[in-house]
Amino acid sequence: MSERDIQAEIHKIVTENPVVLFMKGTPTFPQCGFSAAAIQLLKNCGASVAAVNVLADQDIRQGVKDYANWPTIPQLYIKGEFVGGSDIMKELYANGELQKMIDEVAPQ
């Protein structure tokens, strides 16, 4: 059995899905207030989100922090690029940028 290449797995997830949120819990049952807020903002934008529950996979949980060089969860990726955590998402949502980014990925 070969060893898992977590960084390659994460890279595959974020490049094969246009909008990815690494979160604690699931969109239906978030298990952290910051993750709950993050998924709500994406729902408000009408985004189709590939959500990854880091609580279900400790290797991914640590690996995604290394991947983005960002110490916290949630983490949002759009078109393979790390956008930010919950603070950044809130600020981007407030100024309309998040909606624009989502619309560009999936034109209405």
- Residue numbers of the site for other proteins (CB under 8 A)? 82-85, 87-88, 90-92, 97
Q: What is the 3-state secondary structure (H, E, C) of the chain?
A: CCCCCHHHHHHHHHHHCCEEEEECECCCCECCHHHHHHHHHHHHCCCCCEEEEHHHCHHHHHHHHHHHCCCCCCEEEECCEEEECHHHHHHHHHCCHHHHHHHHHCCC
Q: Which is nearer to other proteins, 22 or 82 (CB)?
A: 82
CB of 67 to other proteins, least distance (A): 14
Which CB atom, from 6 or from 88, has the smaller least distance to other proteins?
A: 88
When the beta carbons of 61 and 90 are compared against other proteins, the nearer one is 90
Peptide bond into 74 cis (omega under 30): yes
Q: Looking at beta carbons only, is 5 or 91 nearer to other proteins?
A: 91
In the complex, the smallest distance separating the C-beta of residue 24 from other proteins, rounded to whole angstroms, is 16
CB 60, min distance to other proteins, A: 21
